[in-house]
């Protein structure tokens, strides 16, 4: 039986590789991104049906409308993955970069997550997966808006998880917290433990199959997460 998945941000990196893996596991894919020409290039690489849609989640009203349309046309969607986002190193605290991060990772993310959650609540079941970041755990001097936006995503997803649990519905909310992945989003020097998008996507698919609540990618970043939590503020502030 072919299941149906929507991937928002499938044009490159983790989203693109996850689309390939899901297609290989008998999912029909609704692939969404701004760079639709890259989605068109993806189509011949998969064997299950793949449809291409334009979306820019920072354009909130249009993004919510197109996602609702895709859900309606696809019919009975089992899985929605939010892999769209942005991030900037911003040592100079340039407002344009902070604003772009907030509009995409906070406002845009919330808009599409809201549409997905309301759909699954109405359907009575489903699986929402969102790519957050280990950066959600603490603030960051080089990218303050990015870290803060990922903390917002983490807490919004927790709120949705609480809502579906209270409703007693078989809806899974999975938050993926990657460390460094070798994609366009990985910026700056001294990148360590950087996983390939292929390896990251394989571990994300495993988390999806196991219907995990939270998954670190790669799994060794769980150690960094533990360290981040226990480092005292007076030390962390000087890093």
Q: What is the mean pLDDT of each run of 10 residues along the chain (239 residues)?
A: 94 95 96 97 93 97 98 96 95 97 98 98 98 95 96 98 98 95 59 81 97 94 88 89
Angle (CA) 185-9-153 rounded to 5° is 70
Residue 188 confidence (pLDDT)? 47
- Domain 3-236, what architecture? 3-Layer(aba) Sandwich (3.40)
Between CA 196 and CA 211 the distance in angstroms is 23
pLDDT per residue over 108-133, tens digit each? 999 999 999 999 999 999 999 999 99
| DSSP 8-state assignment for residue 174 | E
Two structure tokens written together for 88: 């900037």
Between CA 239 and CA 236 the distance in angstroms is 5
Two structure tokens written together for 156: 């919004």
Its pTM surpasses 0.85 = yes
Residue 183 confidence (pLDDT)? 64
């Amino acid at each position: 039986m072919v299941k149906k998945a929507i991937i928002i941000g499938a044009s490159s990196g983790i989203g693109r590789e996850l689309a390939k893996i899901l297609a290989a596991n008998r999912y029909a894919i609704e692939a969404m991104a701004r760079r639709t020409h890259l989605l068109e290039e993806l189509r011949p690489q998969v064997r299950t049906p793949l449809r291409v849609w334009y979306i820019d989640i920072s354009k909130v009203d249009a993004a919510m409308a197109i996602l609702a349309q895709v859900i309606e046309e696809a019919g009975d969607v089992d899985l929605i993955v939010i892999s769209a986002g942005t991030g900037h190193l911003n040592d100079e605290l340039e407002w344009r970069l902070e604003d772009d991060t907030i509009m995409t990772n906070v406002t845009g993310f919330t808009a599409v997550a809201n549409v997905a959650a309301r759909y699954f609540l109405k359907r009575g079941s489903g699986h929402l997966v969102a790519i957050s970041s280990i950066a959600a755990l603490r603030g960051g001097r080089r990218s303050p808006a990015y870290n803060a936006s990922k903390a917002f995503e983490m807490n919004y997803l927790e709120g949705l998880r609480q809502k579906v649990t209270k409703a007693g519905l078989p809806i899974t909310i999975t938050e993926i917290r990657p460390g460094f992945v070798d994609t366009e989003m990985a910026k700056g020097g001294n990148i360590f433990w950087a996983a390939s998008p292929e390896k990251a996507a394989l571990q994300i698919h495993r988390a999806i199959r196991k219907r995990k609540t939270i998954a670190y990618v790669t799994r060794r970043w769980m150690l960094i997460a533990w360290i981040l939590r226990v480092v005292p503020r007076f030390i962390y502030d000087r890093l």
